[in-house]
Chain A
Amino acid sequence: MTPDAARAPKPLWVWRVRTALGVRSVVAPAIVFVPLGYLLGPTHLNVLSEAVQAHLDPVISAALVTLGVFVGLALGAVRADAGRSLAAAAVEASITAAVVASAIGFLAWTWALPGTGSAPLFGAVVGLCAAASATLVTRAAAGDRETTIARVADFDDLVVIAAGGVLVAHGGDLVATLRAATMAVAVATATAAAGWLLFESASSEPERGVFVIGTVLLLAGGAAYLHVSPLLVGTVAGALWAFAPGGAAQIVRADLDVIQHPLVVLLLLVAGATIRPTLLAAWLLAPLLIFRITGKIAGSWAAARIVRDVPPLELSARLLPCGAAGIALALNYDQLTGTGAGPAVVAALAGAAVVFEALALFNVGGEGDQA
C-alpha cells in the first residue's frame, strides 16, 4: 500500500481485511447492521418477523458453525512465535470474563432479575459473551505491535467459544454438560472425518463447494438436533481439519470465505431483530458496559506483562470492540435456552457492541482497518 493510500479515508465497513483467524472483521458493520436488524425486527417493521427468524434458525446455526470452524482452523495456524499472544489472550479473556461474570452474577442474584435462572450460570454466560474482542488495526502503522494486538484479539475468541460452547448447551447440570460436550465432540469428529475424506477427492470446484457446505450443514444440524452448541461443534471440526494431513484446512477456509461475510451480516441482523426493549435488557446494558471496560483494563494489564511490546492501556483500548464471537455466543444462548433471558443477553451484547465499536472508531481516528 502506498503512503497516500494509507492516509486515504476508509469506508466504515472495511471487511476486505482479514484477521489472523481469517474471519473478516465485524467491528464497524455492527454499528450498521444491528440497528438495521432492530428496525427490520418485530418491534418495528416486522420484516424479520418471529416466523421469518424461525425459518432462519438453520442458517443461524450454520453461521455459528462457520464461526466455530474458523476459530478451530486458527488453532492450526498458531505458530511457535504466537505462543505468547495465545497465552496473553487466554489470560485477558479469562480475567474479563471473570470480572463481568462476577458482577453480573452478583447483580442478578441481589436484584433477583426475572427469567435468568441460576445467577452464577447467567453471569458466566454474560461474562464469556463479553470477553470476546475484535480490534482495529492501523494499516499505516502495521508492524509487530499491531500483529500482537490483532492476535490477542483473535485468540481470546478461543476461550470464549470453547468455554461458552460447553456452558450454554446444558449449563448448571454437570452430568448433562459433560454428556452434551461429549456428544458435540463425537458429532464433530465423525462429520469432520467424512469431510476430510471428501474435500480432496472432489472432481470439480462446485462439487467441492457442495461437500463443504453439506458438511457445515451436517455439523449445524447435528448440533441443533442434539441441543448442543454449534459454535463448539464447529470449533472441534475446524481444529481437526487444521491438524489433519492434506489440504482440508485450506479448502474449508477458501470455500467458507465466500459465504462468511453474508452469514455474519445475517447474524448481526438477526441479533438486531432479537432485541426487545425490556427492563432486563436495560438493566443488563449499563453494568455490562462498565464491568466490561473494567475487565478489559484488568485483563489487558495482565496480558501486556506477557506480550511485553504493547502498553496495557493501549491494549485495553484496542480490545474494546466486541466482535462477532460474543454476539454469536449470545445468540447461541438464546437459541438453546429459550427463556426470557436469552433475548435480553443478545440485546445487551448487541447494544454494547454498537457502543464499543463507535468508541473504537473514534479511538483510531477513522484511519483503521479491521483485524
Chain B
Amino acid sequence: MIRRATALAVVVATAYVVRQHGPADGEARTMALAAGFALVAAALAGDFVEKLRLPRVSGYLLFGLAAGPYFSNVISRPMARELRLIDGVAVALIAMIAGLEMNVLRLKPRIIRMLQVGGITIAILFAVLFVGLYAAWPWLPILPGATGALRFAMAFLFATVVTSFSPTVTIAVMAENRAAGPLSELTLAVVVLGDLLLVLLFGVSMQLVRTATGAASQEVGLFVHLSWEIVGSMAFGATVGALLALYLRAIGRELAIVLVACCVVLSEVGAWMRFEPVLAALVAGLIVENVAPPRGDALRRAVERSALPILIVFFAAAGASLQLDALRTVGFVAGALALARLLLIRIGTSAGARVAGIEGSLVWRGLVSQAGLTLGLTVIVASEYPTWGAPLQTIMVAMIALHELVGPVLFRSALARAGEIGRADLTGADASIAPESGLAGAS
C-alpha cells in the first residue's frame, strides 16, 4: 500500500513537473504523456477504491475527474481531448467482449423463458422511459426546443441509452463471488440479450436522429439507411469475426495485439463505411464464440491483457471530460432518471417472471449496473452531435457513476440471498472472466 501510494505521488509529481517545463499545450505532443499518466495513476486509483468495496471503474472515473481540468488540471482540456481518440477502439472492444460472452448453445435450454423475462422487462422499461422523456423533453437540458420528428427521434435515442445494461459488471460480480445457479444464469442472459437488442435499437434510433436532423442523405430513404447500417454492420462484424476466428485457429500468436487491431478496424473502417461499430463488434464476438470457439483460454488471456489498459484510459478520459458545470444543472435530472429506471426494472422483471412462470423477484438487482457499453453509446452520440450530445453524455455519466456504485452491491446482495455465492466451486461451473482480470465494471 505504501509502495503504491509513493508510486502514485511520484507519477503525479513527474507529470506535473513535465507539464510545467514543457511548452504550451497547443505546441506539445500530449497524447503519450496523458495516456501514460492516466494508465498508471487511474489503475492505482481503481485499486484504492476497490479496497473500499467499490468497483474499480468508479476509481478510474473519479481519478479522471480529480486529475481533469475542473480540479488539479494535470490532465488539461487538450490532453483529455487527445485521450478521447481511443474512444472508438474502447467501445468496439467492450462490445466484442459482450459478444464473446454469448454462447448460444449454453443458453438454448432456457432461452424462451429468458427471452420472456428480458423482452417484457426491456419493453416496459423502454416504452415508459420513451413516453416519459418525450413528454418531459421541453424541461430537459438537451435541446429543449426540439419539436416534431426531431423530438421523437431524440427521445427514442435517449430512452435506448438509459435502458442499457452492463454485461461485464454482471459477469465480474459473478466471477468474484464464484456464483452459479438459476439467478446468475437468468440475470446474465437478460443482460446480454437485452444489450444485443438495445444495440440494434441504438442503430435504429441514430438513423432516426440523422434523418430528423437532415444529416442522412436525402437521396435514399430511411429503410435503405437502416438496412445498410444494421445489416451492413452485421455482415462487416461477421467478416471480421470470421477472420479473427480463422487467425485464432491457424496462427493464434500475439492475440492481444490482433484483438486490438480488430477493434481498430471495426471502429475506424466501420465508421468510415457508416456502419455501427458497436453492432459490428458485438457480432464479431458472437461469431468467434459460437461459430469457431477458441480452444483453451488464450483468447480470454488476450482479452484481459488488451482490454484492461484501453478501458482504464477510456474511463479516466471520460472522467476528465466530465462537464461539471453542466452537472450542476443536470444532477437532478440524472437522479430522477436513475430512480425511474430502478423502479421500472423492478416492475418489468416482476411482470416478466410472472409471464414466464419462474421465480424472478431478485433479478432486478442484477440489471441496475451501467458502465462501458452505455458510456460508449453516449460517446458516439456526443461525437456526432456535440451541441446536444454533450449534455446527454453528462447526464449519462452521472447516472453511470450512480449505477456503478449501487449496481454491483445490489447484485451481490441478491446472489447472497439466493444462496448462489460460492456455488461455482461446488458445481464446477466457471465464470468466463476471472476476478483478477480487473475488468469488473468494464461494460
A interface residues with partner B (beta carbon < 8 Å):
55, 57-58, 61-62, 183, 187, 190-191, 193-195, 197-198, 201, 203-207, 209-211, 213-222, 224-227, 258-259, 261-262
Q: Which residues of the partner chain A approach B158 to less than 8 Å between Cβ atoms?
A: none
Complex contact B437–A206 (CB within 8 A) = yes
A226 to B15 Cα, complex, angstroms: 11
B interface residues with partner A (beta carbon < 8 Å):
3-4, 6-7, 10-11, 13-15, 17-19, 21-23, 28-37, 39-40, 43-44, 47, 85, 254, 256-257, 301, 304-305, 308-309, 312, 436-438
Q: Which residues of the partner chain A approach B33 to less than 8 Å between Cβ atoms?
A: 217-218, 220-222, 224-225
A198 to B35 Cα, complex, angstroms: 17
Q: Which residues of the partner chain B approach A194 to less than 8 Å between Cβ atoms?
A: 7, 10-11, 14, 40
Q: B261: nearest residue on chain A (CB-CB)?
A: A262
Q: A201: nearest residue on chain B (CB-CB)?
A: B3
**Most chain B CB inside 10 Å of its own CB: which residue of A215, A218, A220:** A218
A14 to B33 Cα, complex, angstroms: 34
Q: A61: nearest residue on chain B (CB-CB)?
A: B32
Q: Which residues of the partner chain B approach A207 to less than 8 Å between Cβ atoms?
A: 43, 47, 308, 436, 438
Q: A191-B14, A206-B437 are in contact. List 5 more A-B contacts (CB 8 A).
A: A207-B308, A210-B312, A222-B33, A226-B18, A227-B23
Q: A59: nearest residue on chain B (CB-CB)?
A: B32
Complex contact B438–A216 (CB within 8 A) = no
CB distance from A48 to the nearest CB of B (A): 14
A216 to B40 Cα, complex, angstroms: 10
Partner of A187, one of B7, B18, B257, B437: B18
Complex contact B14–A190 (CB within 8 A) = yes
CB distance from A284 to the nearest CB of B (A): 27
CB distance from B283 to the nearest CB of A (A): 25
Known pairs A193-B10, A204-B438, A209-B305; A217 contacts B35 (CB<8 A):
yes
CB distance from B317 to the nearest CB of A (A): 14
Complex contact B29–A219 (CB within 8 A) = no
A221 to B30 Cα, complex, angstroms: 7
Q: Which residues of the partner chain A approach B29 to less than 8 Å between Cβ atoms?
A: 57-58, 61, 221, 224-225
CB distance from A69 to the nearest CB of B (A): 13
Partner of B305, one of A55, A190, A206: A206
A17 to B61 Cα, complex, angstroms: 42
Complex contact B39–A213 (CB within 8 A) = yes
Complex contact A198–B40 (CB within 8 A) = yes
Complex contact B437–A225 (CB within 8 A) = no
Partner of A224, one of B4, B14, B32, B305: B32
Q: Which residues of the partner chain A approach B36 to less than 8 Å between Cβ atoms?
A: 214-222
